[in-house]
A and B are shown apart, each in its own frame.
Chain A
Amino acid sequence: DQQVKQNSPSLSVQEGRISILNCDYTNSMFDYFLWYKKYPAEGPTFLISISSIKDKNEDGRFTVFLNKSAKHLSLHIVPSQPGDSAVYFCAAKRGENYGGSQGNLIFGKGTKLSVKP
């Protein structure tokens, strides 16, 4: 039972255009969401996060939007650059009052982004 879903395994965009990566979740107990970026032969690195009490968080070229009613979040990258080519993982944390293991993140399968020059 996948609680965090990234339904697009890959995405290809042109340099300078917007990249939109999507993530859906099923568990309403999640209270914090994170995006990680992973290059080949490296571990994932933190990109941006958002609390469930917000609907938007922005950091430079990266913006994450959260739609709680739809249980959907998206990562926007504007403008996209070739160096953004990587696998992007969406992750979620369950609120501590809702059981589960404190501190554990639940990851989606990832979306491979290719930004073409």
Chain B
Amino acid sequence: NAGVTQTPKFHILKIGQSMTLQCTQDMNHNYMYWYRQDPGMGLKLIYYSVGAGITDKGEVPNGYNVSRSTTEDFPLRLELAAPSQTSVYFCASSYWDRLPNYGYTFGSGTRLTVV
């Protein structure tokens, strides 16, 4: 059982370039999320999805786009990368009506540097 898989683990991107961070879960969770964690800060929600075909903005969506064509996959697209997007990105999934942790499972993260 792989859980939540993120690729790549590390990446260096040049200013103005674009890339897609991949996220796949095999737990049949309906909810999926993208968070970013800046140094010394908590996790901030970028986008989330409550099911295939449905996405919505979180707290810090600017500069990002997402899509959810299947239950398993939730890629995060960075367009015109900026240094402010240097961060560690975490994908998570959950099955929201399942206690005690709502089945909230995180991937191991993608460390992205924009230079």
Contact = CB atoms under 8 A, between A and B. Distances in A.
A95 interface: no
Interface residues of B, number: 28
Contacts of B109: 41-43
A43 B108 contact: yes
B58 A103 contact: no
A43 B90 contact: yes
A43 B4 contact: yes
Q: How would you classify the secondary structure of chain A's contact residues: helix, strand, loop or mixed? A: loop
B104 A34 contact: yes
B108 A109 contact: no
B100 A43 contact: no
Which interface residue of B94, B96, B101, B107 has the most chain A CB atoms within 10 A?
Answer: B101
A42 B44 CA distance: 17
- Give 9 closest A-B pairs by Cβ, nearest first: A43-B106, A107-B42, A46-B101, A107-B43, A103-B96, A109-B42, A103-B31, A49-B100, A43-B108
